[in-house]
Amino acid sequence: MNRRFAMGALFLAPLCVLVWAPQAAGQDHWVATWAASPQQPRALAPSPAAARAAVPPRAPAGPPPPAKFDNQTVRMVVRTSIGGQRLRVEFSNAYGVEALRLGAAHVALHEKDSAIIPGSDRALMFDGKPSASIPPGALLLSDPINFDVPRAGDLVISAYLPGDTGAPTMHATGLHTTYISKPGDFAAAAALTDTATSQSWYFVSGVDVLAPADTAAIVTFGDSITDGATSTADTNSSWPSFLAQRLLANPATAHWAVVNQGISGNRLLRDGAGVNALARFDRDVLAQPGVRWVTVMLGINDIGVGMRQPSEAVTADDVTGALHQLVERAHTHGIRVVGCTLTPYEGAAYYSDAGEAIRDAVNRWIRTSGVFDTVVDFDAVVRDPAHPKQIRADFNIRDHLHPNDAGYKAMAEAIDLSIFR
C-alpha cells in the first residue's frame, strides 16, 4: 500500500485535528515512473456478453498470446516518465495458480529492437539472490540498485523463466514490442535472435525510482482510451504518454511522474478485460508509490455492453455512483481526483441512442456535481462540433470510439498543467 503520507495528531482542546504531511522535508522516497495493470490471460478473450455486444477489439491485431513460458527469456521495453539514480522493479504473479519461478532478471537501457545499450545491463537481485519464487496472487519487488534512469526513456526488462509458468499474468495492450526467446537464459544477452514477438507485457508490473521529496506521481486510471488502444505501437502515443512529455518539458511540473493504469475493455462494475475498476483501484492506484493525483475516465464500456445485454445494463446513477466511490476512496488516502468526461462514440459497434443518453447524463454529473477536485472535458476536446455525438473525423482511428495519435495528443494538451503545480 502507498505509504507516502503520514497522519499526525495535533491536540487543540477540546478538538483533535489530523494533519497530513505528504513527505518529510528533504527526504527521498520511492515514486512509480512506470506501471501496467496486471490482467489474467483469459480476459483477452471477450466475455460472452461482450462478444454478443460486438465490443471493439481490446488489443492490437497480431499473433495470439503464448499459453505459457517454459525455459524462455522474455525481453520487454517500458517507457519511464521521471528519471533517477536508483530503481527497483516489481514483478506480479497476480493471476498465477502456482508459484512463479523467476530464474534471472536484468534491466538495461534500450538501443533498438531487442538490443540493449552496451555497458548498461544490470542484474536484479531479490533479497540478495539472483532468482526468486513468487507465490500465487503475490508480487515481488527487486532489491534497489544504482541505475541511471532516464527521463522519458526506454528501459529493457528481461526475465528468464526456467520452468513452466502456466498461463502468464500479463498486460495485454502494451503497445511496445516484446521479444520471446528460444529455450535458454538470455537475460543478460546484448540482443536476442530467433525470437517470437508480442505487444504485451508479462509478469512485470512496475518500475519505481528513488526521487526527491517534492516528486510525486499521477495515476491515469481508465479503459482502452487511457491504455492507448489503437495508437501507433512503439511510439508512446497514448494521451498519458503525451501528458508525461508535457509535464517533463515544463520546469514547474517536471517533478511529476505519469503512471498509466488503463486496461482496454475494462468496466467499472463488471469483470471482463481485467477485474472491474472498483476491485482493482486499491492495487492500481492507492498502492502506487508517491501517488498524489489520479485521473478517472471509465464508464463507456459499462454503457455500451449494457445496451446490448440487458442482464448487464447500467443506469447513469450506477455509473456515477461507482465513480463517486472511487473519489471517496482516493480522498481517504489524501489523493486528489481529476474527473474526465466520456468521449463520443456514435458509429461504434455498441453505440445506441439510449446509451448516448446515459453518457450525456454521466458527463453532466462529472462537470457539475463538484465531487471531483477538478474536471478535464475530454468530450469537448475530441467531439465533432457539427456532430457532437461523434469523434472528429481527423481524430477517428477507424472504429468511432478510440482517438488516433493526433486525438490522444489533443487530449493531453487540453489538460491545464497548473493543476499539478
Categorize the per-residue pLDDT at 247 as very low, low, confident or very high, splitting at 50, 70 and 90.
Answer: very high
pTM given for the model: 0.90
pLDDT of residue 64: 64
pLDDT of residue 42: 57
Position 224 in a domain: yes
pLDDT of residue 47: 42
At residue 4's C-alpha, the angle toward residues 7 and 9, to 5°, is 5
pLDDT at 224 over 50: yes
Q: Enter the C-alpha cell of residue 283.
A: 492495487
Higher pLDDT, 397 or 187: 187
Position 408 in a domain: yes
Q: Which of 173, 206, 239 is the last residue of a domain?
A: 206
Strand pairing category for 204-211 and 29-35: antiparallel
pLDDT tens, residue by residue, 326-365: 999 999 999 999 999 999 999 999 999 999 999 999 999 9
Instruction: Note whether 96 and 233 are same-domain residues.
Output: no
> Cβ distance 149 to 210 under 8 Å?
no
Average pLDDT of the chain, as a whole number: 90
* Closest C-alpha to 218, from 299, 289, 324: 289
* Domain range enclosing 316: 212-420
Q: What is the arithmetic mean of pLDDT over 133-139? A: 97
For residue 226, what are the contacts with CB-CB under 8 A and spacing of at least 6?
A: 220, 238, 239, 240, 260, 261, 262, 295, 297
* Closest C-alpha to 31, from 192, 266, 212: 212
Categorize the per-residue pLDDT at 25 as very low, low, confident or very high, splitting at 50, 70 and 90.
Answer: low
pLDDT at 12 over 90: no
Q: What is the arithmetic mean of pLDDT over 217-228? A: 98
Categorize the per-residue pLDDT at 65 as very low, low, confident or very high, splitting at 50, 70 and 90.
Answer: low
pLDDT of residue 63: 56
pLDDT of residue 332: 98
* Closest C-alpha to 354, from 308, 294, 321, 402: 308
Instruction: Note whether 387 and 365 are same-domain residues.
Output: yes
pLDDT at 168 over 50: yes
Residue 224 belongs to a domain with what CATH number? 3.40.50.1110
pLDDT tens, residue by residue, 374-384: 999 999 999 99
Domain tally, the chain: 2
Position 345 in a domain: yes
Lowest mean pLDDT among 27-41, 49-63, 196-210, 235-249: 49-63
Q: What is the arithmetic mean of pLDDT over 210-215? A: 97
3-state secondary structure (DSSP) of residue 310: helix
Instruction: Note whether 292 and 404 are same-domain residues.
Output: yes
pLDDT at 13 over 70: no
pLDDT of residue 141: 98
Instruction: Note whether 282 and 306 are same-domain residues.
Output: yes
Q: What is the arithmetic mean of pLDDT over 390-416? A: 95
At how many degrees (to 10) do helices 239-249 and 405-413 cross? 40
Position 1 in a domain: no
Instruction: Note whether 202 and 258 are same-domain residues.
Output: no
